[in-house]
Structure 1
Amino acid sequence: MTKNGNNSASPFLPDRHDLSSLRNAAACCEGCDLYRDATQTVFGEGPERARYMLVGEQPGDQEDRQGHPFVGPAGRILDQGLEEAGIDRDEVYVTNAVKHFSFTNKGKRRIHQKPTAAEIDACRPWLSAELAAVRPEIVVVMGATAARALLGREFRVTKQRGEPVPMGDALAVATIHPSAVLRAPDRDAAYAGFLADLRVAADTRPAE
């Protein structure tokens, strides 16, 4: 629970909203109960001013252990897609809608567990602050959890993926989460769709 007894990260946000201050403050966040079992907060990474912000669901097992986003198997799919889509990694800020790993134990393994709506909402202040600090032109929304956080509960990735939609001063392009490529019965087809969406993001230009 937070300092005021409500599930929200808001009381943990610092007075300064530059990325360094945000990252340091997020390390102490107790805005929802996920912090109790997670190894650490996994905050976003990338340049202070990035053309692209890529938003996923939550840290995975390797991200939780290492403290960096997208360093596991899904991260390798993402890196491959960005390279093939022609998106310069130096122009990309990567983060997650939820900053702590949500999981259940199965023997010695930690199995990913989808964050609840309350956990997504509790973590939303961090994501809003990252967006305000980075001010991206294009936001790539990867998966249903990120879509819930950024585009609302009515948005459906399966129906609206690959279509640029206004999101504040930026344009958002939704796609599947790269981990969905790994789980797909036909990985080649899933990856081809993922790559097509990234290429839309690469070619999208905000209106002047």
Structure 2
Amino acid sequence: MKARSGNISWPKPPATPASPRSGSSTIAWDAPDPVWSPDRASSAWLPRSARLMLVGEQPGDREDLEGRPFIGPAGQLLRDSMAAAGMDPAAVWLTNAVKHFKFAPRGKRRLHQNPNRQEIEHCRWWLGLELAFIQPELVVALGASAAFALTGNAVPLADRRGQVETGLHGGPVLITWHPSAILRQSGEAARKLRSALTEDLTRAASITRLI
């Protein structure tokens, strides 16, 4: 896989990298992540081939427990937006920049915490393996963490949303909002963000000929 020149590049994988396990129509991607727990595996069920990859921030509480991406409230909003864009989620590779749920315990609840730069960079080798394996025509970065993981660019998202940038892998990356950002808003602000997400997903589907 092509690496970008300069100070930022894809890290080398650990001695025992992630590996795909084939199913009839999907792939489960499993590997331990030493940042959180060396004994715990992350997995996600994904299409065997995809022209489009969507990358989020990290699993949420439910995704972490069930081992599949985008099945919580933000995931439902994303899937609704994909449907509005005429996109079949079954044809898209769904993954996250960081592979484990970072949280702060509050009694029986686990409250989401944003991954820091070190955690994003630590998981970049894994994302690089996914990109090399799938070789998508286009990657959509959902939110700032995914955008940084894919491009190495930490410029605020508001100045970049809707733009196509060159990723560290040498391919195009479309920048858009993470659905969780929409859930944190209400009224007209939420409507505008959701409309922008659907617009970007429609563009991505058109570029990759999914509609």
TM-score category (smaller protein): 0.7 to 0.9
Cα distance change, pair 87–121 in 1 and its aligned pair in 2 (3 A): same
Residues 121 and 149 in structure 1, CA contact (< 8 A), matched pair in contact too: yes
Residues 43 and 96 in structure 1, CA contact (< 8 A), matched pair in contact too: no
Structure 1 portions without partners, runs of 5+: 1-6
The answer for the alignment partner of 2:115 in structure 1 is: 115
Shift of 1:203: 2.2
Residues 44 and 93 in structure 1, CA contact (< 8 A), matched pair in contact too: no
Equivalent pairs, count: 192
Cα distance change, pair 123–85 in 1 and its aligned pair in 2 (3 A): same
- Using the size of structure 2 for normalisation, the TM-score is 0.81
Shift of 1:155: 3.9
* Percent of aligned pairs with the same amino acid: 40
Residue 35 of structure 1 aligns with an amino acid whose one-letter code is S
Match of 1:198 among 197, 201, 205: 201
Cα distance change, pair 8–111 in 1 and its aligned pair in 2 (3 A): farther
Shift of 1:8: 8.1
Structure 2 portions without partners, runs of 5+: 1-10
Q: Given the alignment of the two structures, is residue 178 of structure 1 paired with residue 182 of structure 2, yes or no? A: no
Cα distance change, pair 154–196 in 1 and its aligned pair in 2 (3 A): same
**Distance in 2 of aligned mates of 1:161 and 1:41:** 32
Residues 55 and 139 in structure 1, CA contact (< 8 A), matched pair in contact too: yes
Q: Given the alignment of the two structures, is residue 76 of structure 1 paired with residue 76 of structure 2, yes or no? A: yes
Match of 2:14 among 2, 6, 10: 10
Residues 166 and 172 in structure 2, CA contact (< 8 A), matched pair in contact too: yes
> What is the root-mean-square deviation of aligned Cα atoms in Å?
2.5
1:1-208 correspondence to structure 2 within 5 Å: 10-13=14-17, 19-20=20-21, 25-26=30-31, 28-30=32-34, 32=35, 34-35=36-37, 40-167=40-167, 168=169, 170-186=171-187, 187-204=190-207
Q: Which has the higher helix share?
A: 1
Residue 174 of structure 2 aligns with an amino acid whose one-letter code is V
**Distance in 2 of aligned mates of 1:104 and 1:138:** 34
Shift of 1:169: 5.2
- Using the size of structure 1 for normalisation, the TM-score is 0.82
| 1:115-134, Cα deviation, whole Å (9 max, x unpaired) | 11111111111100000001
Q: Which has the higher strand share?
A: 2
